[in-house]
A and B are shown apart, each in its own frame.
Chain A
Amino acid sequence: MSEENPPPGKQKQIAISEFFEKNKHFLGFDSLQRSVITAVKEAVDNSLDACEEERILPDIRVEITRLNGDRLELISQDNGPGIPRGAIEHVFGKFLLGSRFHAIRQTRGQQGIGITGVVMYSQLTTGGKTSVISKVKGESSAVYVDLGIDTRKNKAIKSGERRDVWVDGLTGEEVSHGLRIRTEMKAKYQRGRQSVYQYLRMTSIVNPHASISLVVRDGDGDVIEEGHWMRTTDRLPTVVKEIKPHPHGIHLGTLQRMLREAEERKMTSFLRHNFSGVSMRAARDILGKSELDESRQPRRIKAEEAQRVLDSFQKVKLLNPPIDCLSPIEDLLIKKGLSKAIDSRFASTVTRDPRVSQGNPFQIEVGLVFGGDMSSDSPIEILRFANRVPLMYQQGGCLLTKAIEAVDWKRYGLDQPGGKGIPKGPAAVLVHLASTNVQFTSEAKEAVASNEEVLEEIRRALLEVGRGLKGHLKKSSQRKKAREKFELINIILPEISKKSSELLSREEPDLAPVITQIMNAVFCEEELGWDSERKLATCDITVFNYTARARAYTILAKWPESDMVRIEDNPLGGRKEARGLWAWRLDTLDPGSSATISFTMSGLSRGDWNDTEIFFRGNGDIIGANRIDEKLLEEMRKRESLDAAVEEVRTRGDAVVSGLTERADDTIGEEDLANDTEPDLGSLVVDQGVDE
């Protein structure tokens, strides 16, 4: 919006209130229902950004109270760094419309005009002021101030400023740092898919490091809706780096503006300094193709010349922009976020590698949860996010939705009436697009614009989670069948035997041969549990031989091996076959007999481990386990030894070059982590350990 709507301060003839009124549809204040969502959004986004920058784990509280006549009171409180006294007016009273096109990075991005819009809207609809309490760490007291906006001067008006100790009304403790905003506005609180509740729920999913709570009260103080979403990780999102724009993603208007404001004297240095991916050779090449002299002054470049430069950008081979400017949520954290917000039986998540489209780095993450409380005969829930910001409107016109519709979900076990469109079933699908430059369909920034490369990335990620779902469904149907058989032979059959013998006054028959005839298979059942006393995850694998022959097997189980997670009790011993894959050789199982493998693991929290996979080696199939693919296993081992070698080199390198910067060190660490999560071994992907 920066180009189309110059800052009102520069156009004095338009009153700021008029500007607000004119643009309120994309500022998010166009309806009473939406206004409160927008206000919460501005406040919460500010809190999350501030906490992230200061590396604070956010605690955010939102309280809404219905007042008379379509009025709401909104209170938003965080434990962020607070705003220094002198900056308060600036943050709350200025329309921050300045463009920051020189520095590009992934940000939550201001939707509209930030928190100032809230102060403005409150003043326009109620005439009231917005009260702010701000406490900066280390200061002895907090600043209390009421804010309004001088609509002619585009400036905040402060009143009632004082300093006092800030005691949190809820905990009764003095607040050491944080910000609290209280305002009144004309607005309506609504429940449902487009509500403050849904917005915060979605926000909590993609911000698993934040604790967020919402309490909504009616005029009598009765709670009418509340939500509490606790943090599930203490790991803050990685700090994103700013990068320069890439020539492939630039528009003529932006280029002209950059040229106008350039301080470089020569075009070559202009190109090299202001863009990423442009080497000296590339700069010369561009200028050559544009028929421009290298020493031309950027500020003197005419419009048609700029157009030639723009055209040449596409003709020259350029380096891709750096991709470490993105901050994905990472699959394990998405899984945690989803599980905390949605009760489900199965969760599968994928974080794809970053890619570049039209000069903009982007990265796709998707998650799918299935089962639990979700309704099975309505369309799945779609959770769309761009740079960790929930998208709540215009679902139908959004690229993220279209990508979901482009998948043949029937193949993965979801109902898709007519073979296309949004599938039906007890599932929710999350799509997160992280990018330095998310292209929206409109200024309202509610729907992502079409882009073939992004669509294809999302589709691939969805296929990956879809395969996971298919495997899960297959496994649960197998498990159900096995359970039925067990019920049949352990409960129903003995009763039939007992009852018929009673009725006929006969002896009870020997059921062992009957059971073998009915089952005629080897079954495997695993049970995962939690030893709360010893804080250990437990696993029992039982193999039943219901065939007429003796059987011998080696059983292999996947477990979430990591630096933190260790096997504790393991009476049967066995051996490690690969990372996260343990094997036990069983004694010969006679017909009608069973054997149980038990082991426990430390380093996990309750509920972290709720799914495993069992493999076997030996003759004859086992229901409930898969035959191990030796080729995949071999590949997996090779890869591991390679990783180990890399690790060794890295450790040694560290010792020698101890002066390596901290940042570089971090980068290597992250790459390592990424390798672990790469699902390139087909069905033999080893679960990643828990992060903490």
Chain B
Amino acid sequence: MSINDSKPKEDVIEALHNVAAEMHDKMLKGIAPTMTLPVRTKSNIGFDDKLGVYKYGKKKTVRDATSLGSARQMLRSLHVTEFIEEMINSGKSSTLREMYYISEAWGNGKFHSQNESNNLAEDLEIVTKCLREDFKLRPEEDGSRIIGNVTFEERNRRGDWMRINCRDDVGDSGYGVPYNVESEKLRLVDEDIDFIMAIETGGMFDRLIENGFDEEARCALIHLKGQPARSTRRIMRRISDEWGKPVVVFTDCDPWSFRIFASIAYGAIKTAHISEYLATKGSIYLGITADDILAYDLPSDDLSKQDIGALKAELSDPRFSSGWWQTQIELMQELGKKSEQQSLAKYGLDFVTDTYLPEKLAHPDVGLAY
């Protein structure tokens, strides 16, 4: 399976035209144009047994042009359609940010913030069941960094395949994951690891590298940089699929980190239309757990108002419906506390690699003792 079993361009254009046709048909009937989208909230994601990830359900929302905002959004999507059609026909591509600036020329259809253009690109992906790669739109976001004994081949700008070992051929900052990690750009060649560890913060990523944890525990370390980019999630999925390596996730203990884990393990709400490409089923949440705050007596901060709200929302998020997550969330609510990865430094710089991680990895539920 590849994310880029790229669609024939005629299909992409047709799918986009269907969006325009829905509007045009409505106007012919004398009613306001509409655009039908799946509901993109937690209330409309469900577990897909076949794929093992969360996907959008059947709920649809109909955006109709009786309000100025919706009408503008429709006009924009028509401009975007035209723009994509031009790019497809002329063999060009652009970044989402470039499209945002190009929209300056669209008069009443221009975007007022890049967020608007990003969201619209996602809307169109979902409605047309195409990917932004099909639309020739690239993200601005860069992928993350990898360190560990894995070897990739990446096609460089001259079109040559370049062989890179992510332990021996890179500096301390590791291998920079490109935005396109599909097989036409990146090949997974060789490995000598037992698992992949995804790390939320740069500080902890660097700590583990300095302590030589990747070699000691025979793993590849990936820095998530907060909520991970599509390419970061995609490369983890490929490593897991192609090499059969488990993914463990090591984050702070706060409600937002839980969501990072959920987007890796089950699929993100915003990109649930492509969860089967991006989510790695069976990913393991290693820590920091609410239990750890007590068990290791970690320094902690009070939950903010926003934290409390986020936790409450997670209780009703289907992705956190398992007994284990419910217990963790409720415990955290009870404690009223959150804790950072780096709070482990309370016991010294080596505590995380000498004690915490070995103990967590050796836990029977994880089974990655080394």
- Residues in A lying within 8 Å of B, measured CB to CB: 484-485, 487-488, 491-493, 495-497, 499-504, 506, 509-511, 513-514, 517-518
Instruction: Write out the residue numbers on chain A whose beta carbons fall within 8 Å of the beta carbon of B31.
Output: 513-514, 517
B38 to chain A, nearest CB (A): 22
Q: What residue of chain A has the Cβ atom nearest to residue B79's Cβ? A: A499
The answer to the question of B21 belonging to the interface, with a C-beta cut-off of 8 Å to chain A, is yes
The answer to the question of B23 belonging to the interface, with a C-beta cut-off of 8 Å to chain A, is yes
CA gap between A620 and B67 in the complex, in Å: 22
Instruction: Write out the residue numbers on chain B whose beta carbons fall within 8 Å of the beta carbon of A509.
Output: 24, 27-28
- Whether A503 contacts B20 by the Cβ 8 Å rule is yes
- Whether A511 contacts B27 by the Cβ 8 Å rule is yes
CA gap between A485 and B67 in the complex, in Å: 7
Instruction: Write out the residue numbers on chain A whose beta carbons fall within 8 Å of the beta carbon of B20.
Output: 499-500, 503-504
- Whether B66 contacts A518 by the Cβ 8 Å rule is yes
- Whether A495 contacts B75 by the Cβ 8 Å rule is yes
Instruction: Write out the residue numbers on chain A whose beta carbons fall within 8 Å of the beta carbon of B79.
Output: 499
Q: Which of B17, B32, B75, B107 contacts A504 (CB 8 A)?
A: B17
- Whether A492 contacts B75 by the Cβ 8 Å rule is yes
CA gap between A504 and B78 in the complex, in Å: 11
B102 to chain A, nearest CB (A): 15
The answer to the question of B208 belonging to the interface, with a C-beta cut-off of 8 Å to chain A, is no
Q: Which of B24, B67, B108 contacts A495 (CB 8 A)?
A: B108
- Whether A488 contacts B78 by the Cβ 8 Å rule is no
Interface hub of A491, A500, A509 (most chain B Cβ within 10 A): A500
Instruction: Write out the residue numbers on chain A whose beta carbons fall within 8 Å of the beta carbon of B17.
Output: 503-504
Provide a sorted-by-A list of 30 A–B residue pairs whose CB atoms are within 8 angstroms.
A485-B68, A488-B65, A488-B71, A493-B33, A493-B65, A493-B71, A495-B75, A495-B108, A495-B109, A496-B23, A496-B71, A496-B74, A496-B78, A500-B23, A500-B78, A501-B24, A503-B17, A503-B81, A503-B85, A504-B21, A509-B28, A511-B27, A513-B30, A514-B26, A514-B27, A514-B31, A514-B32, A517-B31, A518-B32, A518-B66
B156 to chain A, nearest CB (A): 37
Instruction: Write out the residue numbers on chain B whose beta carbons fall within 8 Å of the beta carbon of A500.
Output: 20-21, 23-24, 27, 33, 78
Instruction: Write out the residue numbers on chain A whose beta carbons fall within 8 Å of the beta carbon of B65.
Output: 488, 492-493, 496, 518
The answer to the question of B82 belonging to the interface, with a C-beta cut-off of 8 Å to chain A, is yes
Q: Which of B66-115 contact A (CB under 8 A)?
A: 66-68, 71-72, 74-75, 78-79, 81-82, 85, 107-109
CA gap between A95 and B328 in the complex, in Å: 80
CA gap between A499 and B107 in the complex, in Å: 13
- Whether A488 contacts B108 by the Cβ 8 Å rule is no
CA gap between A485 and B17 in the complex, in Å: 27
Instruction: Write out the residue numbers on chain A whose beta carbons fall within 8 Å of the beta carbon of B74.
Output: 496
A516 to chain B, nearest CB (A): 8
CA gap between A632 and B74 in the complex, in Å: 47
Question: A487-B68, A491-B108 given as contacts; is B75 within 8 A of A499 (CB)?
Answer: yes
CA gap between A356 and B211 in the complex, in Å: 85
* Per-residue contact bits, chain B 277-317, to A (CB 8 Å; 1 contact, 0 not): 00000000000000000000000000000000000000000
Give the 3 A-B residue pairs with the shortest CB-CB distance, closest first.
A513-B30, A509-B27, A499-B78
CA gap between A529 and B39 in the complex, in Å: 47
Instruction: Write out the residue numbers on chain B whose beta carbons fall within 8 Å of the beta carbon of A499.
Output: 20, 75, 78-79, 82, 109
CA gap between A495 and B72 in the complex, in Å: 10
Q: What residue of chain B has the Cβ atom nearest to residue A511's Cβ? A: B27
CA gap between A629 and B17 in the complex, in Å: 53
Q: Which of A484, A496, A506, A510 contacts B33 (CB 8 A)?
A: A496
Instruction: Write out the residue numbers on chain B whose beta carbons fall within 8 Å of the beta carbon of A503.
Output: 17, 20, 78, 81-82, 85
Q: Which of B104-140 contact A (CB under 8 A)?
A: 107-109
Q: What residue of chain A has the Cβ atom nearest to residue B82's Cβ? A: A503
CA gap between A497 and B32 in the complex, in Å: 10
- Whether B30 contacts A517 by the Cβ 8 Å rule is yes
CA gap between A367 and B219 in the complex, in Å: 73
Beyond contacts A503-B82, A514-B26: 15 other A-B pairs, Cβ-Cβ < 8 A, are A488-B68, A492-B71, A492-B108, A493-B65, A495-B75, A496-B65, A499-B78, A499-B79, A499-B82, A504-B24, A509-B28, A513-B30, A514-B27, A517-B30, A518-B65
Q: What residue of chain A has the Cβ atom nearest to residue B31's Cβ? A: A517
CA gap between A513 and B29 in the complex, in Å: 9
Instruction: Write out the residue numbers on chain B whose beta carbons fall within 8 Å of the beta carbon of A514.
Output: 26-27, 30-33
Instruction: Write out the residue numbers on chain A whose beta carbons fall within 8 Å of the beta carbon of B32.
Output: 514, 517-518
A521 to chain B, nearest CB (A): 12
A576 to chain B, nearest CB (A): 39
* Per-residue contact bits, chain B 28-68, to A (CB 8 Å; 1 contact, 0 not): 10111100000000000000000000000000000001111
Instruction: Write out the residue numbers on chain A whose beta carbons fall within 8 Å of the beta carbon of B75.
Output: 492, 495-496, 499
CA gap between A506 and B20 in the complex, in Å: 11
B232 to chain A, nearest CB (A): 35
CA gap between A495 and B28 in the complex, in Å: 15
Instruction: Write out the residue numbers on chain A whose beta carbons fall within 8 Å of the beta carbon of B85.
Output: 503
Interface hub of A485, A491, A499 (most chain B Cβ within 10 A): A499
Instruction: Write out the residue numbers on chain B whose beta carbons fall within 8 Å of the beta carbon of A502.
Output: 82
B28 to chain A, nearest CB (A): 5
Question: A499-B79, A518-B32 given as contacts; is B71 within 8 A of A506 (CB)?
Answer: no
A485 to chain B, nearest CB (A): 7
B222 to chain A, nearest CB (A): 42
B163 to chain A, nearest CB (A): 45
CA gap between A500 and B32 in the complex, in Å: 13
A506 to chain B, nearest CB (A): 6
CA gap between A500 and B78 in the complex, in Å: 7
B352 to chain A, nearest CB (A): 44
CA gap between A511 and B108 in the complex, in Å: 18
Q: What residue of chain A has the Cβ atom nearest to residue B21's Cβ? A: A504
CA gap between A324 and B82 in the complex, in Å: 76
CA gap between A501 and B33 in the complex, in Å: 12
A611 to chain B, nearest CB (A): 25
Instruction: Write out the residue numbers on chain B whose beta carbons fall within 8 Å of the beta carbon of A510.
Output: 30
CA gap between A493 and B27 in the complex, in Å: 10
- Whether B67 contacts A488 by the Cβ 8 Å rule is yes
CA gap between A655 and B294 in the complex, in Å: 99
Instruction: Write out the residue numbers on chain A whose beta carbons fall within 8 Å of the beta carbon of B33.
Output: 493, 496, 500, 514
B201 to chain A, nearest CB (A): 34
Q: Which of B24, B26, B81, B107 contacts A506 (CB 8 A)?
A: B24
